[in-house]
Amino acid sequence: MPSFAQKFINAEPQAGLDMAGVFPAEGVNEILEVGRPEVQLHSPVRKAYRQIRFTQSLKRDARSRAQEIIRSEIPAYLRHLNEVLQFAKDDPSSPLWKGHLNSGPFVKENVKLIMKSQKSDRETILQQGSPTGTPTIIVEQVDKFPSLKELKLTIGEPTGQVPGGCDNDDDDCSEDGGLDGPGHAWQGGLPPNEICDKLMDMIEQESEKAIVMGKELLHWIRLEIPTIEDGNNFGVDVQEEILNKIEGMCGSACKNHTLPKTHYEDRMKFAQSWNKYPNLEDHAAAIASSDRFDFFLAHNAIMSLRNNMSTLLLALQSNWPKVHNPKSNNGVNGTSGLY
């Protein structure tokens, strides 16, 4: 006696038959098993058959990728973050070592502007409260440059030339040459904080890994969500709760990923302000304080990535039957709940 699938494959096409009519739920798997390249399906049946084959292939690939992430990649990721945090306690080579805060650019006395001469490649260090022997700041009257408020600031001996390439006797000099505000002629560069640079690189890399894994898991669980029906939808509720956890983890990782951008923007603004208003004495302290704050934000970001990923992995392992097969009645240790 021919099976249901074989009868259906050999049946004549019916006008106006929709997807539900083409493939009744109880016969879909049997049709896919019986279907062979040599079987000539009618046009509407062939089209629906290919669609189901495609969606099942998507689910299969997403499930395989999710299993790899849950079994291998997340545990390896957590081991790596735990090692980073453990080494940070007593390893001076770690960028997260708190001993860095007592030296280098985290101390305001060490924050300096590097001045570059326009006539040579010689560099001069300008530091607030500099000891005797550092270059002298010379103030001269500049009648032709009202934008400088009649002040000319240079390093060393007066040269009669305003930094920026304009000579005092040149009538073509104007504000378009870069002299657009007090102190612009200093043109000092702020050296980078190498410890913070390493931390920012670490946060970008670890946040990107977490986001990629989270998006892969979101894709898989959404494909596993069955049709919502009356009754026995608790497994679907568990899936929704897991989705919320994954989205929360991804959102936190995205927020952490913006920390490097904020860090560099803050330092850039401080350097611009210091060049524009070199007589203000709080720039060095502000930069050092900002770097210390970003250091603690970076440490907190690494811990947040570790904690959120650990919580997600535990939730997935504890509720695997309901996540993998939400319509199943099998629980974990006698319970089907999320917690």
pLDDT score recorded for residue 228: 66
Per-residue confidence band for 43, with pLDDT thresholds at 50, 70 and 90: low
Higher pLDDT pick, 240 / 125: 240
Distance, in Å, from the CA atom of 43 to the CA atom of 41, rounded to the nearest integer, reads 6
The DSSP string of 126-192 is: E-TT--TTSPPEEEE--TT-GGGTT-EEEESS--SEETTTEETT-TT--GGGS--STTGGG-EEPPP
Higher pLDDT pick, 312 / 136: 312
Q: Is the pLDDT of residue 123 over 80?
A: no
List the one residue out of 122, 101, 126 whose CA is nearest residue 112: 126
Residue with token string 């109880």: 26
Q: Indicate the average pLDDT of the chain.
A: 73
Higher pLDDT pick, 337 / 327: 327
In 11-148, which residue ranges form alpha helices assigned H by DSSP? 19-22, 28-34, 43-68, 74-87
Q: What share of the chain has pLDDT > 70, as a percent?
A: 58
Residue type, 160: G
Q: Which residues contact 176 (CB under 8 A, 6 or more apart)?
A: none
| Domain boundaries along the sequence of the chain | 1-41, 68-104+193-324, 113-189
Q: Is the pLDDT of residue 100 over 60?
A: yes
In 225-282, which residue ranges form alpha helices assigned H by DSSP? 234-257, 259-276
Q: Averaged over 255-280, what is the pLDDT?
A: 94
Q: Averaged over 46-67, what is the pLDDT?
A: 82
Highest mean pLDDT among 48-62, 72-86, 114-128, 150-164: 72-86
Q: Averaged over 296-310, what is the pLDDT?
A: 96
Rg (CA), the chain: 33
Distance, in Å, from the CA atom of 35 to the CA atom of 29, rounded to the nearest integer, reads 10
pTM for the full predicted model:
0.65
Question: Phi and psi (nearest 5°) for 323?
Answer: -75, -40
Distance, in Å, from the CA atom of 121 to the CA atom of 124, rounded to the nearest integer, reads 10
**Do residues 63 and 224 make contact, with C-beta atoms less than 8 angstroms apart?**
yes
Higher pLDDT pick, 12 / 194: 194
pLDDT score recorded for residue 226: 78
Q: Is the pLDDT of residue 80 over 70?
A: yes
Per-residue confidence band for 237, with pLDDT thresholds at 50, 70 and 90: confident
The DSSP string of 96-113 is: T-GGGGGSGGGSGGG--E
List the one residue out of 169, 162, 176, 174 whose CA is nearest residue 119: 162
Q: Averaged over 3-21, what is the pLDDT?
A: 44
What's domain 68-104+193-324's superfamily in CATH? Proteasome activator pa28, C-terminal domain (1.20.120.180)
pLDDT score recorded for residue 231: 58
List the one residue out of 210, 191, 197 whose CA is nearest residue 295: 197
H/E segment holding residue 115? strand 113-116
Q: Give ∠ CA 119-124-125 in degrees, rounded to 5.
A: 155
Per-residue confidence band for 150, with pLDDT thresholds at 50, 70 and 90: very low
